[in-house]
Amino acid sequence: MIKKINFLFVTIFGIGKISKIPGSIASLVTILFLYFLFHILNISPEIILISIIIIFFISLYAVNIFIKNLDNKDPKEVVIDELIGQSIPISLYEIAHEGSKEINQVLTFYFIMFILFRIFDIAKPYPVSYYDKNFKNSFGVIMDDVCAGLYVVAVLVLYMVITS
């Protein structure tokens, strides 16, 4: 039972078992889910960010259990790291832009954050590549996506500074 719950957690309810582009699908599902939480249920971005931090720490343990007996220490079915990495820029965007926003602006920024996150996650610029190559454990699996998410934040902050 515990093993099944752990599997559902690290694969985000089986999304990681999708044969084609599970990481991109997990990122897209994350965006849709966060949009629902922020703009339909109107949940506070601070609460979501705290939840993501809690998920991060639970993931360190859960991913370690999942990959323990695997040769590949970063299997494609583990997509909880995409949820964490993709959630960082979206949550920080929502915190920075609290209040009423035009839906077109929100959707545009969500789309940009999705594309940028996927680019950074796939291309793995330093330090994303550092964590991916040097930590063959749950920390490496998760931190490369955290760094990719932080790169998205950096790009958006730079964009906002330049355009303001």
Write down the pTM of the prediction.
0.93
> What is the pLDDT of the chain when averaged over all its residues?
94
Query: What pLDDT, on a 0 to 100 scale, did the predictor assign at position 125?
Result: 93
Distances in Å between the Cα of 139 and the Cα atoms of 63, 68, 70 are: 9, 13, 16
Query: What pLDDT, on a 0 to 100 scale, did the predictor assign at position 75?
Result: 87
Q: Which range (30-34, 44-48, 60-64, 70-74) has the least confidence?
A: 70-74
- Check if the beta carbon of residue 80 is closer than 8 Å to that of residue 59: yes
Query: What pLDDT, on a 0 to 100 scale, did the predictor assign at position 119?
Result: 97
The average pLDDT across 54-63 equals 97
| DSSP line for 102-156 | -HHHHHHHHHHHHHHHHHHHHH--TTHHHHHHH--SHHHHHHHHHHHHHHHHHHH
* Torsion on CA atoms 51, 12, 81, 23, rounded to nearest 10: -140
Query: What pLDDT, on a 0 to 100 scale, did the predictor assign at position 117?
Result: 98
The average pLDDT across 3-19 equals 96
Number of independent structural domains in the chain: 1
Query: What pLDDT, on a 0 to 100 scale, did the predictor assign at position 106?
Result: 95
Q: Helix crossing, 138-163 with 45-67: angle to 10°?
A: 150
Query: What pLDDT, on a 0 to 100 scale, did the predictor assign at position 100?
Result: 74
Q: How far apart are CA 123 and CA 103, in angstroms?
A: 30
Residue found by looking up tokens 């998410």 in the block: 149
- Expressed as residue numbers, the domain containing 74 is 2-9+17-163
